[in-house]
Amino acid sequence: MESFWLCDDCLFAAAYEDYSTLSLYYTTDEIEKRIAGIHLGLVRLMPISADFDPETGRGIRTFSPLPCDGCDSHLHGQRHRFTRL
């Protein structure tokens, strides 16, 4: 199976369709662009399913310098594994 590592923004978008945290870091114009980028990236990867366990930490990289496979963000941070169905 093919796996992908998603940033927190893509995780919340894929799992909950929630973009509310973007307002903490971006202006209104930037938020619209960011949502569009996240959406395009996730559509390209679909169908995907979460492949991580928050209790054991399996499938979670707490700090990764690698870009997000969804939105291609190069910001370092947490990544969660998803698998293509």
Q: Model's pTM, two decimal places?
A: 0.89
d(CA 28, CA 23): 7
> What is the pLDDT, as a whole number, of residue 57?
96
Residue 5: closest CA among 34, 73, 39: 73
Bond prior to 67 in cis (omega within 30° of 0): no
Check pLDDT > 90 for residue 1.
no
Per-residue confidence at 32, pLDDT binned at 50, 70, 90? very high
- Give pLDDT tens digits for 37-76: 999 999 999 999 999 999 999 999 999 999 999 999 999 9
Q: Which amino acid is at 71?
A: C
d(CA 74, CA 32): 18
* Total of domains in the chain: 1
Which domain covers residue 60, as residue numbers? Answer: 3-84
